[in-house]
Amino acid sequence: MTTLDIMPENTANTVTPETMQAIVQTEEKVTASLELQEVPVPTLKSGEVLVEVKAAGVNRADLLQTQGNYPVPPGASEILGLECAGVIVDAGDTDRSIGEEVACLLTGGGYAQFVAVPQGQLMPIPNGYSFVEAASIVEVACTVWSNIGMLAGLKEGDLFLIHGGAGGIGTFAIQMGKALGATVAVTAGSAEKLETCKELGADILINYKEEDFAETLKNQADVILDIIGAKYLAQNVKAMAKDGHMVTIGMQGGVKGELNLGHLLAKRGTISATALRGRDVEDKARIVRSTVDNIWPLLNNKKISHHIDHTLPLAQAAEALQKLQEGTVTGKLVLTT
């Protein structure tokens, strides 16, 4: 890694290298083909800063991208990585400062030594957090808050159903749900994973391999956070309470399902499907501001904490994604530079 002179203030005199190390996919749709290679350092656009990446979070969306199932938005970096933490080394035309430590929501580019980040997608490092810890929290915080807080309006007294409770999204969502005063129900595939969910505050533990969550929670779930998609569509509606709201953010169980609209109508139910990555810069900045305003205080006072399975060096990105594919990860994986 090239050593940089970190200047104490915004200045155009900071010299950055022309090239950097980054993860490159050398064979289409083959996750194992990820390699660390030399590539050009990103050129800043107006409103962007250059961040030296110290750690980058690993997300299932990265795995899907390597498999050809999550296209890169137009104009975004082809390099993997939707969140990172690091140090601003070039403030561009913004009012940010060189040397400032930041967490970053990205459209891509995090699996690298440097990444260009729109100013509105910069977040402060939570109190007491390391770069690794901060990198593990950005994408999940923005995803869960934007969907469950801003969209579904989870409130005190609600029953909140989370699928995949032991994953990166799930471990965060459990804590956020409890912090907001909800009763939290989770599904997971093993006693060990359910125990982790319980330790994080989950009230109702459902092993989906042994129990039908829709029967257990029939007509009770006010808000549902769904990462499965088509496979759970009818069951989610069965579990939904009157005026319930299901938000689908993943399609691990397929993209096409059959829905009895009469059942949804009888419950006055709402189904939303959202994605964070493809939103425009202004919309992402809005979500980042709201997440910092509402979630960062909960991180700072430890009502919500990070949950990291383990870290790996950047060069082992393919191994990290393979672990996600195998379902052996509880919480988040983080790559370090």
Average pLDDT rounded to a whole number, residues 250-262: 94
Average pLDDT rounded to a whole number, residues 187-214: 97
Per residue in 272-282, pLDDT tens?
A: 999 999 999 99
The answer to whether residue 124 is domain-embedded is: yes
pLDDT reported for residue 14:
60
pLDDT reported for residue 15:
75
Average pLDDT rounded to a whole number, residues 297-304: 97
Residues 262 and 311 in one domain: no
The answer to whether residue 98 is domain-embedded is: yes
Average pLDDT rounded to a whole number, residues 187-215: 97
The answer to whether residue 62 is domain-embedded is: yes
Residues 145 and 264 in one domain: yes
Residue 114 has pLDDT above 50, yes or no: yes
Strands across the sheet with 159-163, in order? 204-207, 183-188, 159-163, 221-226, 240-248, 270-273
Locate 181 and state its tokens: 């005063």
Q: Shortest CA distance to 115 belongs to which of 57, 59, 55, 41?
A: 41
Residues 98 and 54 in one domain: yes
Q: Do you know the residue count of the chain?
A: 337
Asked if 154 and 125 count as a contact pair (C-beta separation under 8 A), the reply is no
pLDDT reported for residue 133:
98
The answer to whether residue 281 is domain-embedded is: no
Per residue in 215-253, pLDDT tens?
A: 999 999 999 999 999 999 999 999 999 999 999 999 999
Mean pLDDT estimate for the chain: 95
Residues 148 and 268 in one domain: yes
pLDDT reported for residue 134:
98
pLDDT reported for residue 237:
98
**What is the crossing angle of helices 191-200 and 168-179, to 10°?**
30
Domain count, the chain: 2
Residues 212 and 248 in one domain: yes
Q: Which residues pair with 51 in a beta bridge?
A: 88, 115
Residues 173 and 192 in one domain: yes
| Rounded Cα distance, 196 and 267, in Å | 32
Rg (CA), the chain: 20
Residues 132 and 145 in one domain: no
Residue at 7: amino acid letter: M
Residues 133 and 34 in one domain: yes
The answer to whether residue 49 is domain-embedded is: yes
pLDDT reported for residue 12:
47
Residues 183 and 91 in one domain: no
Residue 285's alpha-carbon distances to 119, 133, 293, in angstroms, are 8, 22, 12
107 falls in which pLDDT band (50, 70, 90)? very high
Residue 3 has pLDDT above 80, yes or no: no
Residues 26 and 131 in one domain: yes
Residues 132 and 179 in one domain: no
Per residue in 134-143, pLDDT tens?
A: 999 999 999 9
Residue 9 has pLDDT above 60, yes or no: no
**Which of these three, 225, 255, 273, is where a domain ends?**
273
Q: What's the CATH number where 318 sits?
A: 3.90.180.10
φ, ψ of residue 63 to 5 degrees: the values are -60, -45
- Domain span at residue 248 reads 141-273
Residue 285 has pLDDT above 50, yes or no: yes
Residues 186 and 199 in one domain: yes
pLDDT reported for residue 4:
38
**Which of these three, 226, 255, 273, is where a domain ends?**
273
pLDDT reported for residue 280:
96
Q: Shortest CA distance to 253 belongs to which of 223, 202, 213?
A: 213
| Degrees, nearest 5: CA angle 30-35-38 | 135
Q: What's the CATH number where 150 sits?
A: 3.40.50.720
Residue 148 has pLDDT above 70, yes or no: yes
